[in-house]
Amino acid sequence: MRTDRPEMKADTIRRVKYAHGYIELGALGEAEKELDSVDLEDRLLPGVMLARVELHITAKNWERLYTSARELTRSAPQLERGWFTAAVALREMNRIVEAKNFLQEAWFTHGHKSALLLFNLACYHALLGHNVEAKDCLCDAFELDESLRKVAMNDPDLEPVRCDIPWL
């Protein structure tokens, strides 16, 4: 048993499991009720917060997604998921500069080992017209995960720099 983070109580585990089931079924209101029923002291546990993030992604509720994901980055900065989803929420709200800045903050924790973080950072740079930075981030992302090259060929966010990257 790990002692560096609190464990979820049985009731919390059950409610999170039910919430995930409801999300899969598209019963988002029921999923939210389950998560709202989690004891207050457990609501900031990563497992609970990740379920809430999934709920808001599925609902495409970008404001609430950003709020939940941002809270996840504060309580569990080691989890990349919080960083990515917060940036995606900002992107979906057309707050590209904030999304880029948010991922640049995440880079200090995850950047040197996260191809997905670098890839998303490249997308935001491209959307902002920072072509050199976009290409640099893509190169670094491809070094970590060559399969992202195929994704880059079709990602609409990279359209502004696609013709400048002959090796795609």
Residue 160: is its pLDDT beyond 60?
yes
Q: For residue 7, what pLDDT is reported?
A: 79
Closest CA to 45 of 89, 96, 11: 11
CB within 8 A of 8, min separation 6: which ones?
Answer: 16, 42, 45, 47, 48
Confidence of residue 3 (pLDDT cuts 50, 70, 90): very low
Model confidence over 46-76: pLDDT tens digits? 999 999 999 999 999 999 999 999 999 999 9
Q: For residue 2, what pLDDT is reported?
A: 39
Look up the pTM and report it: 0.85
Report the alpha-carbon distance of residue 50 to residue 45 in Å, rounded: 9
Average pLDDT of the chain is: 90
Q: For residue 6, what pLDDT is reported?
A: 62
Cα separations in angstroms, 125 against 24, 26, 76, 102: 33, 34, 26, 12
Q: For residue 111, what pLDDT is reported?
A: 64
Buried b (16+ CB within 10 A) or exposed e, 86-104: bbbbbbbeebbebbbebbb
Report the alpha-carbon distance of residue 80 to residue 114 in Å, rounded: 8
**Domains, in order of start, for the chain:** 86-168 (1.25.40)
DSSP string, 129-144: T-HHHHHHHHHHHHHH
